[in-house]
Structure 1
Amino acid sequence: MSSQKEKATHKAVRLAIVRIEKGRPTIVSDKRKISVAAVAEEAGVSRALIHRDCPDLLERIKGGVNKGIRQQRDAKQTELNEYKERNRELRSEVAELKAMLAKVQSQNATLIRKNTALSNTHAENSNVTQLIYS
């Protein structure tokens, strides 16, 4: 009789794992990640029973947990690489804009000097009349 009970609990735990993996648990929230506690709650057994009597299923549960963590890590790594690439692009754009700004500042300084020189020339030469357009 105890052999049948063990098979029944083993089956209940296995089915609970499948339901959680598929995202259709009946007792626990479907947003909950797969863990020994979630499987035990879904199967209606204790966590100790899973650890003690279902070592093969315990490995499956732990594999699922590591898979989820691995997927999260890979997603974060991909996101980080995208941000690094965007950062590189923005840094190069900033360098280009700084070079353009330096060139414009140089041209502006040259024009200011020429304007000052022309104004001085205009002040010395009284024969020149300034035209005012309205």
Structure 2
Amino acid sequence: MSNQKEKSSHKAVRLAIVRIEKGRPNIVSDQRKMSVAAVAEEAGVSRALIHRDCPDLLERIKGGVNKGIRQQRDAKQTELNEYKERNRELRSEVAELKAMLAKVQSQNATLIRKNIALSGVSSKSCNVTQFSYSK
């Protein structure tokens, strides 16, 4: 008789695990994470019974707990890699823009020097003009 009771409790624990995994538990909240306590409450047995009589199902419960954590970790790692790639792209763009800025500043300085030279020449009122600037 006790053998039959063990089988029924084992089956109840197994079915509770399946219901929680599928997100359709009868007793516990569907927002509750997979744990020995949640499975025991759903199956109507004690946590000690699961630890004592269902070591195979205990591993399944622990695997379900780690599965959610693993998925979160993988999602965060993927997001981190995307941010790192975006960071590399932005750093490359910043370096490119700095090079462009240096070139434009150089051209601007040359034009200012030429403008000063030309304005100084136009202020003199003589027939001969001499330009003294270099490229």
- Normalised TM-score (structure 2): 0.86
Number of aligned residues: 127
Deviations 1:12-70 (A, max 9, x none): 11111000111111222222221112111211222111111111100111112222222
* CA distance in 1 between partners of 2:14 and 2:5 (Å): 14
Deviation, structure 1 residue 4: 2.3
Identity of paired residues, percent?
89
Deviations 1:79-110 (A, max 9, x none): 11111111111110010011011111111111
Partner of 2:47: 47
Partner of 2:15: 15
Deviation, structure 1 residue 126: 6.7
Partner of 1:5: 5
The one-letter amino acid paired with 1:112 is I
Instruction: Quote the RMSD (CA, aligned, Å).
Output: 1.6
Partner of 1:27: 27
Larger displacement relative to structure 2 (71-80 or 109-118) = 71-80
The one-letter amino acid paired with 2:18 is V
* CA distance in 1 between partners of 2:20 and 2:3 (Å): 26
Partner of 2:121: 121
The one-letter amino acid paired with 1:124 is K
Q: Secondary structure at the match of 1:45?
A: coil
Q: Secondary structure at the match of 1:30?
A: coil
Within a 5 Å distance, the mapping from 1:44-83 to structure 2 comes to: 44-83=44-83
* CA distance in 1 between partners of 2:15 and 2:41 (Å): 12
Partner of 2:36: 36
* CA distance in 1 between partners of 2:2 and 2:78 (Å): 50
In structure 1, stretches of 5+ residues that fail to align are 128-134
In structure 2, stretches of 5+ residues that fail to align are 128-135
- Normalised TM-score (structure 1): 0.86
The one-letter amino acid paired with 1:108 is N
The answer on 1:91 being equivalent to 2:123 is: no
* CA distance in 2 between partners of 1:37 and 1:114 (Å): 83
* CA distance in 2 between partners of 1:68 and 1:125 (Å): 86
The one-letter amino acid paired with 2:81 is N
